[in-house]
Chain A
Amino acid sequence: MDNQTVSRRNFLKTSAVTGAVFSLGFYWPGNAKSAKVINAAEANKFGVEMNSWVHIDASGKVTIFDHRAEMGQGSYQAVPQIVAEELEVNLNEINVVFAQGDAKKYGNQVTGGSSTVRGSYKNLLKLSATAREMLIQAAAKKWNVPKLECYAEGGDVIHKPSGKKLHYGQLVEAASKLEAPKDVVLKKRSEYKLIGKPLRRLDTPLKTNGVAVFGLDKQIPGMMYAAVERNPRLRGKVKSFDDSKTRLIPGVKNVFKVKMGVFNTYREGVAVVADSTWAAIQGKKALKVEWDDTGFEHLDTEEIYKRQAEALQTQEGLPFKKQGEPNEVIAKASKKIDVIYETPYQYHAAMEPLNCVAHYQDDKLEIWGPIQAPEWVQDYISKEMSIPKEKVIVNMTFLGGGFGRKAFMDYPHEASVISKEIKAPVQVVWTREDDATQGPFRPGITYRCEGVIKDGGIDAFKVKLAGQNNNHWRGGKKDVPNGSASEGFLKPYTESIKNLAIMDIPFETPIPTMWWRSVYASTNGFAFESFLDELAHEAGKDPLDFRRVYLKEERLQKLIDKVEEVSGWKSRAKGAGYGVAITECFSSTVAQVVKVSKAPGGGVKVDKVWAVMDCGWYVNPDTIKAQIEGSIVMALGAATIHQVKFKDGMAVDNNFSTYQMPRINDIPPIDIHIMDNDEDAGGVGEPGLPPFAPALTNAIFDLTGKRIRKLPFNLGMV
């Protein structure tokens, strides 16, 4: 091949011959330095199926299927770490394979809501222990000894009295034919060899030499590339387009109108199919499209927030939670706090822009991509394109970040439609500009917080929110309050504050919105926890002590003690500002303390962050720490650097040049602690995000007396 010119066409031909090298990179040996590639059709290579997660071949090689997306949060590590524990195999000797979307085999595979571990660990522990018991039983039978004299370790079954040993590969055939025991005994936490240990991630070596296959790296023989010029307003249509310049670009093969399903509507665009990504992008740039943008409003950011603010003054909203007589107490009070908090729209900005490979053939469709929700994609496309569900095969690659945006069906649907049109496999590549401007975005919510302090305590507490409800886009009822109206706010407050109201004012715009890491907790956390800080100051109480009064549960008291201890709260440095915030989402509670000081060049700087997470039972403490570090960095960006602004109904900033991200020189030291207890597992990927912004602004108040009620703000201008 060295002496031959590798043109694009030649390359495609050669890669068809050596297809395996480039295709189907969904199978990776767990700790290998380079990847082997095995086709989905060759799945029997994994040996005998003990259950949907565990296959063992005759040599004893154990393959564990990761049924969840790996988008950085660590499912590729956590799922095998759980399975290997009860299965009694060494983690560094196994294969890990991404499972295909298959709800019948794996149940819920939607990687969202911080649910990978908490949603499946009990099942995984049980089915792994069951497989182990069957392997032990098969050995006992073979040796004709009592099962109780045998035990499993490191992929072997050992007969304790004689020292006889058989590896799982020698037993799996017989074991798989045994009846599964009903009530296996699971290990106690104290007996764990793997779970709870900060083991190195199995996918790290794949990510230090370019071997990991992300969606954008996926190639299949004969694959074309496509870029799509989409209407920048979701509800707009294509009126007409001129592709004369596009068709002059070498490599451009086809141009046509295309639409993809987004919620209950379709986004329209013009697809350019070419033989390289570059040609497709150039072709897209050369298009002249006339849009039809009639029939809906084209809003500016200012108008959205003006309407939200007006609604908060003129409307009472729908009660999400109401108890006691908050309105009466507020009306009668001689002094009350009545303040507005404002949070911006945000963009997910995963480093890997959206993309998807689709191959439509006669009666079946196969998809490969960075996909958070394979079964949703399967369901949606099956219905939209009238293909039986079992004929829609959805493969997950590694995801270059997701943060919620990749738990959606629009981009796989669009790729499938294009593949069907051109009758060839295609990779649809979103440019960063496409990714940044199309949404759906995190909605920006405005809050009106009213409160009364009496005798050093909360006499009335009322929060109204106005902002888009993601559920409305998915056909949710409009006469009920947003079910996430208090997401992030600790539930015990709603029990210990007598006069309390949380009200939601339904609000809509034509701008599409969806979940963004930690969803409504990411904005609610700021409003509720800042407001609590205001109430604490009004009451003349220490902000941490003030919270302690309302959070009586022992588990929360321990969390507060811990954050107080590790942050040195009681001996806070003079000349610095300290702020605290505590939020809960996806069954985990996180307390954070932020320390700030005056920056030499003006404004303030963040000196340090302390975070304590109570997520109950957990798998890998180092993964948890990484998730909290990442959550804090993402929260820092959303609080102090970036926001999505709209003009004339379109997102303004389209790339990192104007939508700046936090960078290495922006990041303070972060000190993380995890609570140890025997509670059920909670989420890990998101709960670290919401408390950061309020802890930061509470700290700034402590330092400067200035209360920041609008995000994002510029640290240098405080």
Chain B
Amino acid sequence: MTKITLNINKKEYPLEADPQMPLLWAIRDLAGLKGTKYGCGVAQCGACVVHLNGEAVRSCVTKVSRAVGKQVVTIEGLSETNSHPVQKAWQDIDVPQCGYCHSGQIMSAVVLLREKPDPTDQDIDDAMAGNICRCGTYLRIRAAIHLAAETQKKTAPQG
């Protein structure tokens, strides 16, 4: 066990953890933030995606030691009022069914829209094919990303 401090959602979490422990379990079991999900443990499904210094890493294969000194953002920290354009678009289109994969889906989509504010369908495939949804909400994910892009465009500062 090692004492480490994680910065999650702009808050410091002093923890005692095995440095080999995947970030996923540190977030869930030690920091008590349950929005980030366990789906496969081998970086195949994307349910565990969090932002590590802004990148959509898969916390199930990321050792907690990699996150030390970096900014971790989980679904709980994406916005204070559930109002990030991607969250709003997910709500407007009723994307989730069971909802289990959507923390990861949303975290992936946010990175896509930051780097490509007006994504094509191909861009969406290139960004989102790493996230599995067993309920099959893929068509709505695509529609919601386009909608979020529209919203971002309208609300972005002009000039």
A positions within 8 Å CB-CB of B: 2-8, 11, 15, 22, 33-34, 70-74, 200-201, 203-214, 216-217, 219, 225, 250, 276-279, 281, 349-353, 398-403, 429, 431-433, 622, 626-627, 629-634, 655-657, 661-665, 667, 669-670
Contact = CB atoms under 8 A, between A and B. Distances in A.
Nearest to A670: B139
Nearest to A401: B98
B134 A204 contact: no
A11 B32 contact: yes
A203 B138 contact: no
Contact of B32 (A22, A351, A431): A22
Nearest to A665: B125
A15 B31 CA distance: 11
Contacts of A629: 136-137, 139-140
B3 A250 contact: no
Most chain B CB atoms below 10 A, which of A8, A22, A74: A8
Given A5-B15, A664-B131, 7 more contacts: A204-B99, A209-B75, A217-B34, A402-B98, A630-B97, A656-B42, A656-B132
B98 A664 contact: no
Interface hub of B1, B30, B100, B130 (most chain A Cβ within 10 A): B100
Interface in B17-54: 18, 21-22, 25, 28-42, 44-45, 47
B45 A351 contact: yes
Contact of B134 (A210, A214, A349): A349
B146 interface: no
B148 to A, nearest CB: 11
B35 A72 contact: no
Interface in B111-159: 124-125, 128-142
25 contacts: A3-B14, A33-B81, A72-B96, A72-B99, A73-B97, A200-B91, A207-B90, A208-B90, A208-B102, A276-B21, A276-B25, A276-B30, A278-B22, A281-B41, A352-B98, A402-B98, A622-B94, A626-B137, A656-B40, A656-B42, A661-B132, A663-B131, A664-B125, A664-B142, A665-B125
B42 A657 contact: yes
Interface centre among A402, A431, A622, A663 (most CB of B within 10 A): A663
A357 to B, nearest CB: 13
Nearest to B3: A5
B76 A432 contact: no
Interface in B40-85: 40-42, 44-45, 47, 74-76, 78-79, 81-82
Nearest to A350: B134
Contacts of B79: 209
A657 B42 CA distance: 8
B91 A205 contact: yes
Given A7-B16, A634-B134, A656-B40, A277 B28 contact: yes
Contacts of A665: 125, 129
A34 B129 CA distance: 30
Given A8-B30, A432-B42, A278 B21 contact: yes
Contacts of B75: 208-210
A8 B16 contact: yes
B119 to A, nearest CB: 12
Given A208-B90, A250-B18, A633-B138, A72 B97 contact: yes
User: Which of B33, B103, B106, B133 gathers the greatest number of chain A CB atoms within 10 Å?
Assistant: B133
Contact of A6 (B13, B76, B94): B13
Contact of A352 (B37, B92, B137): B37
A590 B64 CA distance: 49
A689 B15 CA distance: 47
B30 to A, nearest CB: 6
Interface size class of B (residues with CB under 8 A): 35 or more
A388 to B, nearest CB: 33
B40 A210 contact: no
Contacts of A400: 37, 98-101
A225 B28 CA distance: 12
DSSP majority for the A interface? loop
B51 to A, nearest CB: 13
A492 B5 CA distance: 67
B41 A432 contact: yes
A633 B42 contact: no
Contacts of A225: 29
Contact of B136 (A206, A402, A630): A630
Contact of A667 (B15, B35, B39, B139): B139
Given A5-B15, A276-B30, A662-B136, A210 B90 contact: no
A669 B129 contact: no
Contacts of A657: 40, 42, 44
A6 B15 contact: yes
B109 to A, nearest CB: 11
Most chain B beta-carbon contacts within 10 A, residue among A33, A402, A431, A667:
A667
B60 to A, nearest CB: 10
Contact of B38 (A11, A206, A353): A353
A201 B94 contact: yes
B30 A11 contact: yes
A211 B78 CA distance: 12
Given A399-B98, A400-B98, A351 B139 contact: no
A431 B41 CA distance: 8
Contacts of B91: 200, 204-205, 208
B135 A72 contact: yes
A652 to B, nearest CB: 16
A162 B63 CA distance: 69
Contact of B29 (A72, A278, A403, A432): A278
A664 B16 contact: no
A2 B136 contact: no
Contacts of A622: 94
A350 to B, nearest CB: 6
B64 to A, nearest CB: 9
A200 B94 contact: yes
A216 B30 contact: no
A67 B29 CA distance: 30
Contacts of B94: 200-201, 204, 622, 626
Contact of A210 (B15, B16, B35, B130): B35
B29 A210 contact: no
B80 to A, nearest CB: 9
A457 to B, nearest CB: 38
B138 A664 contact: yes
A125 to B, nearest CB: 24
Contacts of B95: 204
Contacts of A72: 96-99, 135
Contacts of A277: 25, 28-29, 38
